[in-house]
Chains A and B, each alone.
Chain A
Amino acid sequence: MAAQTRRDFFKTSALLGTAISGISNKQIKAQSKNILSENRMGVLVDTTACIGCRKCEWACKTAHNLPTLPVEEYDDRTVFKKMRRPDDKALTVVNEYQNSTKFPINVKVQCMHCDQPACVSACIVGAFTKKENSSVIWDTNKCIGCRYCMVACPFQIPAFEYEEALKPDIKKCDFCFDLTKKGKIPACVEICPVEAITYGRREDLIKAAREKIKNYPTRYVNHIYGEYEVGGTSWMYISSKDFLQLAFPKLGRDPAPGVSEAIQHGIFAYFVPPIALYALLGGVMWLNKNRKKTESETEI
């Protein structure tokens, strides 16, 4: 019963904190330390296997309740005439590049779910989070529509829904967090007929990719895009052609600038007086202490 009371008290203070600063205690914990679990997941995109059937586009829209044409319409390959980018209507798109050998190369584009995500650190209200399973997701209620994330992202991924002028909403691939948190796999991965996109532990995927490149040196260029780019990404690519020719940006190994500054950003942008900050941090400590206690209590 005592624990119950403490928790209740905490809930109130957390609410208060949120009201003051716009950052929930949860958010602070996530941002102050970027948890990169050894078991974090990723996707390996084998562009030599992708056939450009665009079923992933359909599955993504369906899973996210976005308006879509019926599935058979996605067989239409004339869309490849134009290069497309993910936007608020399609969180992932597949493009086509001409190739001298038998078949053209198709490349699926979506958020890369960076290990050191620039969008997370750029967000002044802490709406973005990097989850332990790799997903970089956001909280719509917190977003104030400043578009810092759009500017910061080295892959120009976050898009905005402008239709409702007063309530802009971020649109980007969320790595199907709603599915993965329940132990399922992302919708696009699930549907891909040739499994050109393989979902698995990031480390295992890198190992598998290396093995493929070693076994088939004429099929692949010796580069796993995303293994090191901007500090590593969860979505990685292997290909038969240099990635620059497939419209991938040339990026160094360092994370995008400013990746560690998030927390100050968030707080000072709101001119939160130091007192409030201390009160908030105090609240966080209380929570942790309290949580430990309840945990040990339940264990007994």
Chain B
Amino acid sequence: MRSKIFFLLIIMPFFCFAQKIKENHSTQILKCSTCHSCDVPTKENPCIKPCPREKIISIDQLPEEGPNVLTIDKFKKQTDVYEPVIFSHRLHAEMSGMGGGCKMCHHYNPPGRVIGCSDCHELTRKREDVSKPDLKGAYHRQCIDCHRLWSGKVECLNCHQLKNSKTKTDISTIVKKNGKRIHPQIITPAIVKFDTPKAAGKLVTFYHLEHTDLFSIDCSKCHKNESCSKCHAKDLVTLKAGKTLEQKHLICSNCHNTKQACSYCHLNTVKPGFNHKERTGFDIDKYHGKLKCVRCHTTKEKFTGLRGDCSSCHGIWTHENFRHKITGIALDENHSSLECTDCHQEKNYANPTCSNCHEDKSFPKFFPGNFIKKR
């Protein structure tokens, strides 16, 4: 009988898991092999891969969607040394937002919902599956690395109160206090200027907002695995000073050639911001100024390869599919049925030629319709 119950307990999570995920499978673009080890996973044998960490598709929530404060008292029965820990979940979620969000801690994060630690890590230390730490181990491993970097300490009393301590604070007081703790909003700086020790080109101007908003680079692309200690480390100055040249350039070298093209960033004056016309010859201010780069340069972070030729993005224009009004000129009857190429020989549809039909007319002296106010 006991073995039957045990068997049920073992297989139940698989069924629950399968149920939970089911509705999401159809809506996600997923490769079976991301989660399953066999070709044909069935309900009976889902052959789910063990903890695929970074490779798994992750969902993200806003900090306020998760719990505010957690009281970790799952180990009450096992240990009588410490009081339960009050964990300011929201505060921590907000802090991790820049470095990668939920998945910084919820490293097994399949589509559907954010999975809590105790869904995978067993409560009992004496167990069969020793391939991953038990719950107590998992909790501590998750906390300790950041806390150690941040405060330089691993003392238990930083988070735990001794049960028999005379000076201990009432649990409900701590819960209340932590409920109010939120991290101040992290504001993306527009420009950061770095004073570097480089003799020729002391100043590096970093257009932060441009990188995040215009170039659509995710925070976590650069602030990868950054813990709170990035800003809060006890010894921030030494932490920074101890970096090698390579480490200092690490983030930029994701995209820029930091080994050779020094003068691209290192100047003696403040570098002007990004200007599409100057860099490529194609003036985007007229019609494309409000677009993010990725609207046209669809491979993110690789902004090359377009031909300055409208059809790169817009396909072939004809008199039927192009609303000429948008240019500020509403074509008159004579002109509206002509093919675009009858007047525009250039691929970027710049200034029209009238001489194909009208020997004595030229643009912009004459208009092929009415000049109207632009849209």
Contact = CB atoms under 8 A, between A and B. Distances in A.
A and B interact: yes
Interface residues of A, number: 31
Contact of A194 (B79, B137, B157): B137
Contacts of A211: 131
Contacts of B81: 71
Nearest to B133: A195
> DSSP class of A's interface residues: helix, strand, loop or mixed?
mixed
B157 to A, nearest CB: 6
B307 interface: no
A106 to B, nearest CB: 10
Contacts of B155: 75
Contact of A72 (B131, B149, B157): B157
A121 to B, nearest CB: 30
B149 A190 contact: no
B171 interface: no
A194 B141 contact: yes
Interface string A183-203: 111000111111110111100
Interface string A124-144: 000000000000000000000
B180 interface: no
B148 A103 contact: yes
A112 B81 CA distance: 28
Most buried by A among B81, B130, B138, B155: B130
For the side of the interface on B, what is the size category? 20 to 34
Contact of A193 (B130, B148, B156): B156
Contacts of A269: none
A8 to B, nearest CB: 37
Contacts of B78: 190
B227 to A, nearest CB: 11
A70 B130 CA distance: 31
A205 interface: yes
A267 to B, nearest CB: 40
B154 A51 contact: yes
Contacts of A53: 154, 156
B230 interface: no
A198 B126 CA distance: 9
Interface string B105-141: 0000000000000000000011110110110111011
9 contacts: A49-B133, A53-B156, A75-B156, A189-B125, A195-B125, A195-B141, A196-B137, A200-B128, A208-B131
Interface of B: 78-79, 81, 125-128, 130-131, 133-134, 136-138, 140-141, 144, 148-149, 154-157, 162
Given A72-B157, A189-B125, A208-B131, 11 more contacts: A52-B154, A55-B156, A72-B156, A184-B126, A193-B144, A193-B156, A194-B141, A195-B140, A198-B130, A200-B127, A204-B130
